[in-house]
C-alpha cells in the first residue's frame, strides 16, 4: 500500500501542432494516482487538445506523453455528447456498455440513468434531448465502465443548477477512487477537489 505508485499521466516536452498551427508547446506535468488536476485557461488555449491527447484521441507531434491507464479504464466527456441521435438513451448506453464489456450492464445503466435524472426519458431518442440532458447522458456514458481515469472537458457546460449540483455530488463521491483531469473556465467550483492545477495563458 505504501509503495510509490507511478504517475497516471506524465508529459515531458509535450507538443501538438495541427499543420502550421502550434496548439501546445513544451508542456511538462504529472498526475499522480488518485490526483485531480484542473486545467484552466481561456478559449483556444489548448485545453481541449491536451485532454484529447490524454484520452488517446490524438497523438502528440513532439515530446513524450505517458498514460499508464489502459484505454478501457479511461472515461472521457467532451464538447460533444458522443451519443447517436437516432438511438434512445438506453440503446446508446447499451452500445457502449457492450463495447466496454461492463459487467451487469443493465443494472449499471439503469442506476446511472436514475442518478442523472434520465430514467423517465430512457426510451426517447437522444436527438430529442435538450442540451443539458445530452450532457447528463454524456456523463453517464463516461462513467458507465467505472473508469479509473476521468478526463472531463467543461463538464458543467449545458447543465442547469440542479444538474450542476448533481455533478458536484457525483465528483465528490468519485474523488477518492479515481484520477481526474478536468478542464474548466470556472475553476472556483472545482478548486476544493483539485490537487494540482495547470494554467494556460
Partner 1 sequence: MRRYAADVAVLARKDLMLELRARDTLPAMLLFVISALVVFHFALPSHSSDLAAKGLLWVAIVFTALVGLTRAFVAEREQRLIDGLLLAPCDRSAIWLAKAISVLAFLGAAEVVALPAYAAFFSGIGWSTVAAVALADIGIVAVGTLLAAVAAVSRTRELILPLLFLPLAIPVVIGGVGASVVGSPGRYLGFLCLYDAVFAIISWASFEYVVTE
Partner 2 sequence: MTTVLLGGAVALIFFYAPVDQDGLNQKIFYFHVPIALTSYACFGWGALKAFQHLWKRTPGADLESYVAIHQGVIFGAMTLVTGSIWAKVRWGVWWVWGDEQLVLFLVLFLFYCAYFMLRFSVDPGPQRANLCAVYALFGVVLIPISFLAIRLANSYIHPTVFTSNGPQMATSQLATFCVAWAAMLSLAYFLYRFELAGKRLDADLKELRELLA
Interaction site with partner 1 (CB under 8 A): 52, 55-59, 70-72, 74, 76, 78, 80-87, 91, 95-96, 98-101, 125, 141
42: contact with partner 2 by CB under 8 A: no
Choose among 46, 146, 76: nearest CA to 104.
146
Tell me how far apart the alpha carbons of residues 47 and 24 are, in angstroms, rounded to a whole number: 9
3-state secondary structure of 15: strand
Whose Cβ is closer to partner 2: residue 16's or residue 108's? Answer: 16
Q: Which listed option, partner 1, partner 2, none, makes contact with residue 177 (CB within 5 to 8 Å by class)?
A: none
Tell me how far apart the alpha carbons of residues 85 and 78 are, in angstroms, rounded to a whole number: 16
Q: Contact, 95 vs 130, CB < 8 A?
A: no
Helix (H) or strand (E) holding 77: strand 74-77
201: contact with partner 2 by CB under 8 A: no
98: contact with partner 2 by CB under 8 A: no
Choose among 75, 68, 26: nearest CA to 181.
75
Q: Contact, 200 vs 42, CB < 8 A?
A: yes
Q: Which listed option, partner 1, partner 2, none, makes contact with residue 70 (CB within 5 to 8 Å by class)?
A: partner 1
Whose Cβ is closer to partner 1: residue 91's or residue 168's? Answer: 91
Nine cell digits for residue 64: 513524450
Query: Among 12, 18, 165, 186, which residue interacts with partner 2 (rule: CB under 8 A)?
Result: 18
61: contact with partner 2 by CB under 8 A: yes
Find the shortest distance in angstroms from Cβ 4 to partner 1.
Answer: 27
Total site size for partner 2, rule CB under 8 A: 7
Query: Interface residues with partner 2 (CB under 8 A)?
Result: 17-20, 22, 59, 61
Amino acid at each position: 500500500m505504501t509503495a510509490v505508485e507511478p504517475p497516471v499521466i506524465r508529459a515531458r516536452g509535450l507538443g501538438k501542432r495541427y499543420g502550421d498551427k502550434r496548439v501546445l508547446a513544451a508542456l511538462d506535468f504529472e498526475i499522480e494516482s488518485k490526483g485531480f488536476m484542473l486545467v484552466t485557461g481561456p478559449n483556444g488555449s489548448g485545453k481541449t487538445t491536451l485532454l484529447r491527447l490524454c484520452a488517446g484521441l490524438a497523438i502528440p507531434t513532439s515530446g513524450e506523453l505517458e498514460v499508464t491507464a489502459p484505454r478501457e479504464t479511461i472515461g472521457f466527456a467532451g464538447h460533444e455528447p458522443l451519443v447517436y441521435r437516432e438511438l434512445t438513451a438506453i440503446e446508446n448506453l447499451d452500445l457502449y456498455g457492450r463495447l466496454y464489456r461492463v459487467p451487469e450492464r443493465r443494472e449499471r445503466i439503469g442506476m446511472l440513468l436514475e442518478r442523472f435524472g434520465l430514467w423517465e426519458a430512457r426510451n426517447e431518442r437522444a436527438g430529442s434531448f435538450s442540451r443539458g440532458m445530452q450532457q447528463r447522458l454524456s456523463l453517464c456514458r463516461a462513467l458507465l465502465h467505472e473508469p479509473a481515469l476521468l478526463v472531463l472537458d467543461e463538464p458543467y457546460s449545458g447543465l442547469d443548477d440542479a444538474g450542476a449540483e448533481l455533478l458536484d455530488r457525483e465528483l465528490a463521491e468519485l474523488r477518492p477512487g479515481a484520477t481526474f483531469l478536468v478542464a474548466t473556465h470556472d475553476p472556483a467550483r472545482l478548486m476544493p477537489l483539485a490537487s494540482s492545477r495547470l494554467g494556460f495563458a
